[in-house]
């Protein structure tokens, strides 16, 4: 996700010169809050005014985040949703570091839609944009330090000792005064929470860190590896029923008629209920005692759909239409003064024209969507993995007619997400709520868990947009880019959403163009077409960088080869001494040094590939080794080795950074594999499961080595930046082996 770079910073900050992106970031939150947030979250915005003393804002109050049992077990609540990125452990590490907690006795949990758990830099509930550690680093350090100070104050009061004579270590409070005394955090916590929250706290010098920066296993690692970790799909309440929804084969179609005779005959089926769906469509909920009878009941249902009034998008036609649009200038993208001279393009001694096609993609998270709704007459509690619980709670309140404070969301651990669990329309929370409301109206009020099968989400979910790029580049024999004209055709993710007034500038969705040109100081004219297509689109892991990185890094590589230059040296020369590219140079150099690029002799038939890209304020460079196996129709590329150079500033937990890069490599590898795409024929999605949407298997996985550039600068995010540069680095290696420049994902070898 990209949101956090555009949303508001709610806390007072210094006033540096603002870029356009930062300005939009600082001005967005009001409309989002007013449109979606429950009142509790709106109150937070008011409390974030400068008149609120430090330590008193909801996001700064230790009691909402830290609890310590009598036995010393310390629980630190995560203000985000964890979908495998390890933030429940990372944020707990940050807090425990300043708290001086005994890490062996620390547990983790999740907050909810209350105002305490908004992103402190944005003023809204959000897990996305790789912002969790980045935006909450200082928040959780101060939460830990404030809790520690309150424990010391409680001990000082009980022992009648000056606080400066008291120290803390691994869950113990100690003093040498008066012959020496000590107490556990568990003994003091209740009294500590009655102490005033300190306005200011002294934080540790990073040289004193014992947890931050150390490779640390996830607190949930044992539960996940043993199969005992509970996820949103595992929620089970007393008297709970399970529902599946029959969805139209074409987006937004209406129900014409149905015959539920055979469905009602299935043992365990309790109700067959017409329900409203997201974006105006209609469906039928089959409610039963469990998932299997609900599914069997759905399979038995006879239904006719009215598709006459809805468009029927077709991928083949869309690609043709997009290519035609890409041949024409679009809306100029907001950019700086380094624009291309049209005359320089026409007179350039060398020219390169390239067109790229990127397909619709499904998020394909391991755990499909599930949402359990316990709807009462005067309250509603939802149990699911939500990336935006404040948005979802506000939407549920509006759907049910309840007051926002009557809606509670119990955030669950998620088995993947990649943006799919952050829908601005609160799609699946509202759909599940509609099922609960229909069930109550039918006289069968009960908790109901609505489950999306893999096929449900793949055929009727949200997708990364189909995108076409066209580049026309003029350069000289030394590889100096004289002019670059670039056009992108892609649906806007944000048009029609509450984010549009702030994130779509002069008609151009910033998520479409992010990552273009950076970090290379080359003259470029960039324009965009946003066609209106009746296909639901959404952010997908690393958002626009999934295609812009591929375009930029393969074209830069192609120019280097065309002018007889080493691809690494050429990139370094283009970046020059620009301070903005310092982290790119460091990451690339680290990957080069650790891989042996240019020094190690590769086996015959194996080639190097290189790419570097910044997304979400972190830089990842890849040096890969690839080969081609087979011949003729059996030819296939093989990714052999991947060496990553990562610059994410201060690395809180090297183990989770390594895991995120490894996961990103495998996920990006999937985007290169044959048939890894979503296609539509006459309005119907053709893929329904992994048999037609292949994923990498363990035999496809390369050896992956991850190296992190040391830094003391405030940390940045790592959930998404590892994905964008992998496919272009791999494509560049294939080009060296075959002479073929790949212009599509997934790869198509000629």
Distance CA 85, CA 421 (A): 14
Nearest to 194 by CA among 153, 162, 223, 232: 153
327-350 burial, b if ≥16 CB within 10 A, otherwise e?
eeebbebebeeeebeeeebeebee
**Long-range pairs for 378-382: beta carbons < 8 A, 24 or more residues apart:** 378/402, 378/406, 379/406, 379/407, 379/408, 380/406, 380/407, 380/408, 380/433, 380/436, 381/407, 381/408, 381/409, 381/410, 382/407, 382/408, 382/409, 382/410, 382/429, 382/432, 382/433
Residues in the chain: 750
Beta bridge partners, 474, equal: 351, 483
| Contact in structure between 387 and 81 (CB atoms under 8 Å) | yes
What parts of the chain have a pLDDT lower than 50?
A: 1-49
Q: Distance between CA 411 and CA 382 in Å, rounded?
A: 8
Q: 720 with 665: CB under 8 angstroms?
A: no
Q: Which residues pair with 612 in a beta bridge?
A: 621
pTM of the predicted model as reported, rounded to 2 decimal places? 0.93
Q: Which two tokens stand for residue 443?
A: 């006289």
d(CA 646, CA 630): 33
Cis peptide before 202 (omega within 30 of 0): no
Q: How far apart are the C-alpha atoms of 597 and 707, rounded to whole Å?
A: 15
Look up residue 579 and give its two tokens: 């301070």
CB atoms within 10 A of CB 403: 12
Taking only the tens place, the pLDDT of each residue in 342-400 is: 899 999 999 999 999 999 999 999 999 999 999 999 999 999 999 999 999 999 999 99
- Quote the crossing angle between the two packed helices 427-441 and 389-400, to the nearest 10°: 30
The whole-number pLDDT of residue 55 equals 87
CA distance 727 to 676: 13
Q: Residue 232 is encoded by which pair of tokens?
A: 């949103």
Q: Which three-class secondary structure state does DSSP give residue 618?
A: strand
Looking at residue 56, the DSSP 8-state letter turns out to be -
Give CA–CA dist 428/395, Å, rounded: 11
Residue with tokens 């590219």: 581
Residue 29 has a pLDDT of 33
User: Which one, of 470, 499, 364, 362, lies nearest residue 2 by Cα?
Assistant: 499
Q: At a CB cut-off of 8 Å and minimum separation 6, what does 95 contact?
A: 65, 66, 76, 101, 140, 141, 143, 144, 147
Q: What pLDDT is recorded for position 42?
A: 31
* pLDDT for position 53: 83
C-alpha atoms less than 13 angstroms from C-alpha of 55 in its C-beta half-sphere: 16
Q: Rounded CA gap, 395 and 408, in Å?
A: 12
Coil, strand, or helix at residue 29?
helix
Helices marked H in 405-544 — which ranges?
427-441, 454-460, 500-503, 510-513
Q: What is the side-by-side strand order in the sheet with 636-647?
A: 606-615, 618-629, 636-647, 703-708
Provide the mean pLDDT of the chain: 92
pLDDT at residue 51, as a whole number: 67
**What CA–CA distances, in Å, run from 711 to 92, 616, 645, 708?**
21, 17, 13, 9
Distance in angstroms (rounded) separating the CA atoms of residues 676 and 695: 7
User: Cβ(586)–Cβ(647) under 8 Å?
Assistant: yes
Output phi, psi for 726, to 5 deg. -70, -50
The string over 628-656, giving b where at least 16 C-beta atoms fall within 10 Å of a residue's C-beta and e elsewhere, is: beeeeeeeebbbbbbbbbbbbbbbbbbbb
Domains and CATH numbers, the chain: 3-224 (3.30.365.10), 232-306+369-451 (3.30.365.10), 328-361+463-738 (3.30.365.10)
**How far, in Å, CA of 673 to CA of 695, rounded?**
8
């Amino acid at each position: 996700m990209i949101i956090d770079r555009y949303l508001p910073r709610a806390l007072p900050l210094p006033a540096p010169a603002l870029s356009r992106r930062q300005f939009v970031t600082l001005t967005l939150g009001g409309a989002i809050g007013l449109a979606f947030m429950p009142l509790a979250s709106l109150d937070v915005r008011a409390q974030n005014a400068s008149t609120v003393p430090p330590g008193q804002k909801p996001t700064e109050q230790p009691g909402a985040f830290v609890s310590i049992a009598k036995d010393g077990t310390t629980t630190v609540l995560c203000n985000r949703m964890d979908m495998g990125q390890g933030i429940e452990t990372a944020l707990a590490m940050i807090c425990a570091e300043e708290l001086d907690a005994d890490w062996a006795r620390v547990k983790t949990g999740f907050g909810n839609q209350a105002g305490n758990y908004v992103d402190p830099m944005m003023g809204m509930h959000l897990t996305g944009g790789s912002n969790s550690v980045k935006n909450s680093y200082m928040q959780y350090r101060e939460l830990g330090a404030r809790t520690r100070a309150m424990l010391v104050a409680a001990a000082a009061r009980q022992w009648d000792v000056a606080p400066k004579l008291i120290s803390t270590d691994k869950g113990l409070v100690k003093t040498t005064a008066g012959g020496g005394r000590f107490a556990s955090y568990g003994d003091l916590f209740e009294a500590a929470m009655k102490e005033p929250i300190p306005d200011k706290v002294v934080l540790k010098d990073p040289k004193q860190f014992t947890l931050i920066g150390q490779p640390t296993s996830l607190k949930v690692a044992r539960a996940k590896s043993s199969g005992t970790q509970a996820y949103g799909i595992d929620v089970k309440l007393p008297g709970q029923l399970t529902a599946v929804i029959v969805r139209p084969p074409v987006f937004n179609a209406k129900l014409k008629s149905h015959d539920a005779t055979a469905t009602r005959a299935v043992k365990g089926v309790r109700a067959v209920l017409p329900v409203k769906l997201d974006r105006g469509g209609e469906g039928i909920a089959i409610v039963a005692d469990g998932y299997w009878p609900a599914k069997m009941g759905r399979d038995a249902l006879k239904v006719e759909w009215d598709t006459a009034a809805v468009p029927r998008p077709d991928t083949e036609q869309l690609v043709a239409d997009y290519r035609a649009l890409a041949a024409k200038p679009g809306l100029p993208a907001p950019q700086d003064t380094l624009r291309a001279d049209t005359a320089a393009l026409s007179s350039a001694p060398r020219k390169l024209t390239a067109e790229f096609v990127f397909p619709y993609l499904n998020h394909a998270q391991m755990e499909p969507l599930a949402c359990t709704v316990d709807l009462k007459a005067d309250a509603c509690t939802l149990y699911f993995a939500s990336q935006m619980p404040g948005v979802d709670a506000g939407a549920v309140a509006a759907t049910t007619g309840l007051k926002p404070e009557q809606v509670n969301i119990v955030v669950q651990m998620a088995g993947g997400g990649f943006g799919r669990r952050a829908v601005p329309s609160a799609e699946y929370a509202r759909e599940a709520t509609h099922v609960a409301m229909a069930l109550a109206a039918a006289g069968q009020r009960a908790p109901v868990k609505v489950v999306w099968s893999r096929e449900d989400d793949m055929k009727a979910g949200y997708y990364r947009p189909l995108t076409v790029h066209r580049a026309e580049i003029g350069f000289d024999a030394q590889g100096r880019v004289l002019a670059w004209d670039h056009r992108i055709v892609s649906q806007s993710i944000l048009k029609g959403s509450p984010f549009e007034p702030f994130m779509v500038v002069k008609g151009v969705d910033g998520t479409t163009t992010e990552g273009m040109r950076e970090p290379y100081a080359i003259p470029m004219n960039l324009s965009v077409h946003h066609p209106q297509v009746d296909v639901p689109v959404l952010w997908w892991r690393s958002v626009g960088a999934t295609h812009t990185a591929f375009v930029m890094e393969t074209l830069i590589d192609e120019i280097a080869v065309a002018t007889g230059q080493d691809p690494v040296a050429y990139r370094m020369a283009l970046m020059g001494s620009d301070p903005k590219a310092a982290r790119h140079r460091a990451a690339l150099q680290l990957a080069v040094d650790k891989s042996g690029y240019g020094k190690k002799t590769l086996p015959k038939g194996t080639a190097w590939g290189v790419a570097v890209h910044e997304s979400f304020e972190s830089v990842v460079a890849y040096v890969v080794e690839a080969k081609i196996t087979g011949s003729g129709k059996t030819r296939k590329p093989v990714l052999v080795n991947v060496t990553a150079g990562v610059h994410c500033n201060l690395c809180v937990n090297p183990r989770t950074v390594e895991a995120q890069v490894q996961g990103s490599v495998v996920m990006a590898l999937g985007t290169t594999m044959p048939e890894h795409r979503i296609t539509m024929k006459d309005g119907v999605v053709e893929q329904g499961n992994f048999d037609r949407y292949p994923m990498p298997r363990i035999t496809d996985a390369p050896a992956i080595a991850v190296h992190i550039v040391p830094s003391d600068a405030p940390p940045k995010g790592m959930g998404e930046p590892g994905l964008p540069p992998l496919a272009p680095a791999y494509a560049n290696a294939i080009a060296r082996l075959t002479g073929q420049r790949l212009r599509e994902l997934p790869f198509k070898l000629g």
